[in-house]
Amino acid sequence: MPELPEVETTRRGIAPYLEGVRVSRVIVRERRLRWPIPEDLDVRLSGQRFVQVQRRAKYLLLQAQSGTLISHLGMSGNLRLVPCGAPVAKHEHVDIELESGLALRYTDPRRFGALLWSSDPLQHELLRNLGPEPLSDTFGGQRLYQCSRGRSMAVKPFIMDNAVVVGVGNIYASEALFAAGIDPRREAGSISRARYMRLADEIKRILAYAIERGGTTLRDFVGGDGQPGYFQQELFVYGRGGEFCKNCGGSLREVRLGQRSSVYCPRCQR
């Protein structure tokens, strides 16, 4: 699944080509995504200029003059720019054609993503109860410490809870916990403030670095420019169960936490 750095990479890739540009028409070839694409999307968007392209958690907010298109890439979706009229392949469900001659094409093989319209996107039911952005000043170790008090759940699913902080998915939670030296199985409520301070710093550092590296190449994820990310080459634990630890040389172990695979180093993480 595209995670926060992948979504931010997409935002940065498409924003310069959308902002200030007028939509000429919207072609919808398949409306049946996780939620149906609005029947009147073409009417709402055609003739409108895109004002700004923003991100909230893993949602892209394509703000037009009269409303905002909320996009989620689901499990395997992507948004990329192609010439208007470019040949259409399987699973390429929507083209938003621009007066510039380019089209923003939405592809989603599994159809778990979304394209929704809202006049007030931050109050939409999918966004209004989300926690702070991990790279913002409102997120830090003190918040993790306070939110974790009395919580018996494992620390890894705790930091993946969007009510605690948004956008810390499976890949980056695994990597941040390794960098902070915290066993992902530890009870969230048993971890000290000092260790949470370090964990928050590592979450910020790793997410920021992953964004600069273009995100992580996962299956068919590509950024808005059609290029893959490159952070996968630098993963320390995610997807490396049974391999050697790059830090101590020991064997990495794989467990299941919150229905997700979790890899950790029993020597380096406690």
Residues that are catalytic: 2-3, 58, 260
Q: Tell whether residue 193 is among the known ligand binding residues.
A: no
- Please tell me the distance from the alpha carbon of residue 268 to that of residue 38, in angstroms, as a whole number: 50
Question: Taking Cα atoms as reference points, which of 118, 129, 131 lies closest to residue 35?
Answer: 118
Q: How many CB atoms lie within 10 A of CB 125?
A: 7
Q: Tell whether residue 110 is among the known ligand binding residues.
A: yes
Q: Helix 4-18 vs helix 193-212: angle between axes, to the nearest 10 degrees? A: 40
* CB 28, CB 103: distance < 8 Å: no
Say which residues have a Cβ less than 8 Å from residue 104's Cβ, sequence separation at least 6. 14, 17, 18, 79, 80, 81, 95, 96, 98
Q: What is the DSSP letter of 256?
A: E
User: How far are the Cα atoms of 9, 18, 140, 231 from residue 205, in angstroms, in the given order?
Assistant: 16, 29, 12, 13
DSSP conformation letters of 208-250: HHHHHTT----TT---TTSPPP-GGGG-SSTT-TTSB-TTT--
Dihedral-angle region of residue 111 (phi above 0 means left; psi in -120 to 50 means alpha; beta otherwise): left
Which residues carry a binding-site annotation for DNA? 91, 110, 151
Which residues carry a binding-site annotation? 91, 110, 151
